[in-house]
Amino acid sequence: MWSWGSVIGETRAVDIRSLSAGPLRAYQHQDCGSMTFLEKYKDEIADILSRYPVMRSALIPLLYVAQRDQGYVTESAMQEIAHLLRLTPPQVYETITFYTMFNLKPVGKFHIQVCKSLMCALVGSDTVIEWIKVKLGIAPGESTADGLFSLSVVECLAACGTGPMMQINEDYYEQLTEGKLDRILADLRSTGTSPLKSGPFMWPEPVTGKG
Amino acid sequence: MPKHELILLKNMMQPGYTGSLTDYEKTGGYQALRNTLGKIAPADVTTIVRKSGLRGRGGAGFPTGVKWGFLPKDYQGPRYLCCNADESEPGTFKDRQLMERDPHQVLEGIVLACYAIGSETAYIYIRGEMVLGSKILEQAIGEARVAGYIGKNILGTGINVDVWVHRGAGAYICGEETALLESLEGKRGLPRIKPPFPATHGLYNKPTVVNNVETLANLPHIITRGPEWFAAIGSPPKSTGTRVFCVSGHVKRPGNYEVPMGMTVRELVYEYAGGMRSDKPMKAFIPGGASAPFLTPAHLDVKLDFEHVAAAGSMLGSGGVTVMEEGTSMVWAALRLMEFFYHESCGKCSPCREGSSWLVQTMRRISAKRGRMEDLETLLDLCKNIAGRTVCAFGDAEVAPIQSTLKHWRQEYVDLINEAETANLIRPEPVGRP
């Protein structure tokens, strides 16, 4: 399989799949008994399948379930899904490798994705990436030794008016400043979540008298 | 501040509006649905939408009513509606606000569209990163289902419409309608060759309509207040209604502003978005998302509607207006966008797959002061051989930043190359795969 990274041979260091597994394995592989993926999420999977007249449509939603389970999509989960949807394993693999949001290798507990597209770059996303690199001591594509944080540099996340911004796992953090970044990282370390994450999006906020 | 009536953002601008079903009903929500289902014939709904002049808000600007009219009239099997909520165009963030702040407005539009085209199933294809948006939509669908606006036998009319949220997984190309359908079918999101068009061979090879979130959100208002009302707003006859413009970049107040089409860029940027963030004057702007060619301050009085922006040499696209101040390197800006397109090219067509890589390499070389004068010709030659030679419009989009910056700011490229020559840093590098 040829990779575009090899053509240009550098900074698309976005590919989290090339992460070394090492220290991450320890906490990622939580014990889920001998239960297979399909048994564990039987009801949810049945619900997903009921939405589509053609089974293959359920592939991406099922891969999300698998990713939620382990933090990345395991080979055995892919095989189970292939079997369930009556697809060949390569059909599952060709699909999963097209989409950037699926991890085929473990990532840190908090996967930081900073947008570097033009609109965020105009308002300082490169500086944010530098801050994170220094604060966590990792480059894009790497994880911290404790397995807590992984850093990726990604393309547009549809928050151009409130940049610079980043996504950590499922949450958006917008209008970043260094102080805000420090607090977010501290919050994540101590409580696993941060109140600074974005709620339902609205910008600019409604004018309430003060103009 | 608004000097005109808001349509789509009106509800959410009310203090305390949460976007819940009760809030939406209080503002007259789902009245259009009550007054339409079983009372106006589906074909008449299509006629109303066609008369309103509503055009797609996703980028291509195709008239919505006409698109619906392409569905085969006598087809007996299932039909599908897909709501395109992929919103992946850099510079655009309007659909996110429409879905997260007023989800029922979108849902009402979806059910109305389903009724008009005779579809019983709608899928909302939302971009994978918007987890919060998909949760909000799912909750809203649950509320609407309990209230009888979605599901079997809606409001006792015997009409069934089911709506499902389907998350994408991070591919820009899935905003292209046929790539979206492929992705929804559980495959790689590679655009299909057209024709056949989705209207006859869409999702699962069945007649399908793909409409943008903002397009659908307009429908309840058009039905309630009539097509004549809508057609009088904006810049009739070809660009009717309002547009939610997403202003980003070097302005004081970036964000979403809903204004009638036909407003000038000057007014949008200087009055609504508060003007430039510092003392530096404007150097360039993009009027319609990353795919739209750059324009200069000389185009500030161009009216923001489909025709005028096209006449100025760009496109209205998805309504993402990005402003850059004096001092921004245009070579750098074009390279940033080019890197995006290189990353997101799906790989189906050779001109785009290989060409985007060559363009990035050449641009990086120029940017790193290792360029040669003939690189400029190489760039233009590559652009010419990509645009119009691919299955989807991605090819045309990816050359826009380079072609337009070379047109308006060629001197910046030349200066960088001259610097390279004087510094004697030229190290010839082959273009293409090593």
Consecutive 10-residue runs of chain A (211 residues): their mean pLDDT?
38 37 37 71 96 97 96 95 96 97 95 97 97 97 96 96 96 97 97 96 75 37
By the 8 A CB rule, do A148 and A159 touch?
no
Q: Which residues of B touch A170 (CB under 8 A)?
A: 131-132
Report cis status (omega within 30 of 0) of the bond before A89: no
Among candidates A145, A147, A149, which has minimal Cα distance to A131? A149
Q: Which residues of A touch B14 (CB under 8 A)?
A: 206
Both B223 and B271 in one domain: the answer is: no
Which of B287, B314, B341 finishes a domain? B314
Q: Which residues of A touch B430 (CB under 8 A)?
A: none
Q: A98 to chain B: nearest residue by CA?
A: B188
The β-bridge relationship of strands B208-212 and B80-85 is parallel
Give, in degrees to the nearest 5, the angle at Cα B294 between B288 and B297. 105
Both B38 and B60 in one domain: the answer is: yes
> Which token pair is B12?
């959410």
Superfamily of domain A110-191: Glutaredoxin (3.40.30.10)
Q: Which residues of A35-49 are buried (b: 16+ CB within 10 A; e: fewer)?
A: eebbeebeeebeebe
CB contact under 8 A, B248 and A160: yes
Phi, psi of B58 (to 5 degrees): -85, -25
Alpha-helix residue ranges (DSSP H) falling in B147-212: 177-184
Both B123 and B264 in one domain: the answer is: no
Domain count for chain B: 3
CA–CA separation, B380 and B400 (whole Å): 11
User: What is the per-residue pLDDT across B120-168, written as a single tens digit (0 to 9) for each?
Assistant: 999 999 999 999 999 999 999 999 999 999 999 999 999 999 999 999 9
Both B299 and B366 in one domain: the answer is: no
Q: Which residues of B touch A94 (CB under 8 A)?
A: 188
ipTM, interface predicted TM-score of the complex: 0.94
Phi, psi of B432 (to 5 degrees): 120, -170
Q: CATH class for domain A14-96?
A: mainly alpha
C-alpha distances in angstroms, B316 versus A80, A85, B58, B221, B229?
46, 41, 10, 23, 23
Residue B323's beta-bridge partner residues? B249, B285
Nearest neighbour of A98 by CB, restricted to B12, B171, B253: B171
Q: Which residues of B touch A159 (CB under 8 A)?
A: 93, 96
Q: B165 to chain A: nearest residue by CA?
A: A51
Among candidates B15, B87, B134, which has minimal Cα distance to B246? B87
Nearest neighbour of B129 by CB, restricted to A54, A94, A157: A157
Note the pLDDT of residue A21: 40
CA–CA separation, A148 and B309 (whole Å): 48
* Chain A interface, best mutation among B203, B248, B272, by max A CB count within 10 A: B248
CB contact under 8 A, B247 and A161: yes
Q: Which residues of B touch A199 (CB under 8 A)?
A: 132
Nearest neighbour of B164 by CB, restricted to A8, A51, A167: A51
CB contact under 8 A, B290 and A117: yes
For residue A88, give how far its alpha carbon lies from the nearest alpha carbon of chain B (Å): 13
In order along its 434 residues, chain B shows pLDDT tens digits of 557 899 999 999 999 999 999 999 999 999 999 999 999 999 999 999 999 999 999 999 999 999 999 999 999 999 999 999 999 999 999 999 999 999 999 999 999 999 999 999 999 999 999 999 999 999 999 999 999 999 999 999 999 999 999 999 999 999 999 999 999 999 999 999 999 999 999 999 999 999 999 999 999 999 999 999 999 999 999 999 999 999 999 999 999 999 999 999 999 999 999 999 998 999 999 999 999 999 999 999 999 999 999 999 999 999 999 999 999 999 999 999 999 999 999 999 999 999 999 999 999 999 998 899 999 999 999 999 999 999 999 999 999 999 999 999 999 999 999 988 777 555 556 666 55
Residue range(s) defining the domain that contains residue B403? 330-422
Which of B232, B248, B270 finishes a domain? B232
Note the pLDDT of residue B158: 96
By the 8 A CB rule, do A132 and A8 touch?
no
Among candidates B42, B53, B111, B67, which has minimal Cα distance to B227? B53
Among candidates B347, B338, B358, which has minimal Cα distance to B398? B338
By the 8 A CB rule, do B357 and A4 touch?
yes
Q: Which residues of B touch A64 (CB under 8 A)?
A: 167, 169
> Which token pair is A59?
């592939």
Q: What is the CATH number of the domain that holds B345?
A: 1.20.1440.230
Q: B429 to chain A: nearest residue by CA?
A: A8
> Which token pair is B20?
């819940």
Asked if residue B306 is part of any domain, the answer here is: yes
The full length of chain A comes to 211
> Which token pair is B3?
């000097």
Both B190 and B307 in one domain: the answer is: no
Nearest neighbour of B87 by CB, restricted to A122, A158, A202: A158
> Which token pair is B370?
């290792």
Asked if residue B4 is part of any domain, the answer here is: no
CB contact under 8 A, B97 and A201: yes
Q: Which residues of B touch A211 (CB under 8 A)?
A: 1
Asked if residue B320 is part of any domain, the answer here is: no
Both B117 and B262 in one domain: the answer is: no
Each domain of chain A, given as residue ranges in start order, spans 14-96, 110-191
Nearest neighbour of B249 by CB, restricted to A12, A59, A119: A119
Burial class (CB in 10 A: 0-12, 13-18, 19+), B130: buried
By the 8 A CB rule, do B72 and B207 touch?
yes
Asked if residue B273 is part of any domain, the answer here is: yes
Among candidates B163, B203, B209, B211, which has minimal Cα distance to B71? B209
Element (H, E) at A172: strand A171-173
Note the pLDDT of residue B49: 98
How close are the terminal C-alpha atoms of chain B, in Å?
57
Which of B289, B314, B339 finishes a domain? B314
Asked if residue B427 is part of any domain, the answer here is: no
Residues 6+ apart with CB under 8 A from A35: none
Nearest neighbour of B186 by CB, restricted to A59, A161, A162: A59
Q: Which residues of B98-126 are buried (b: 16+ CB within 10 A; e: fewer)?
A: bbbbbbbbbbbbbbbbbbbbbbebbbbbb
pTM: 0.92
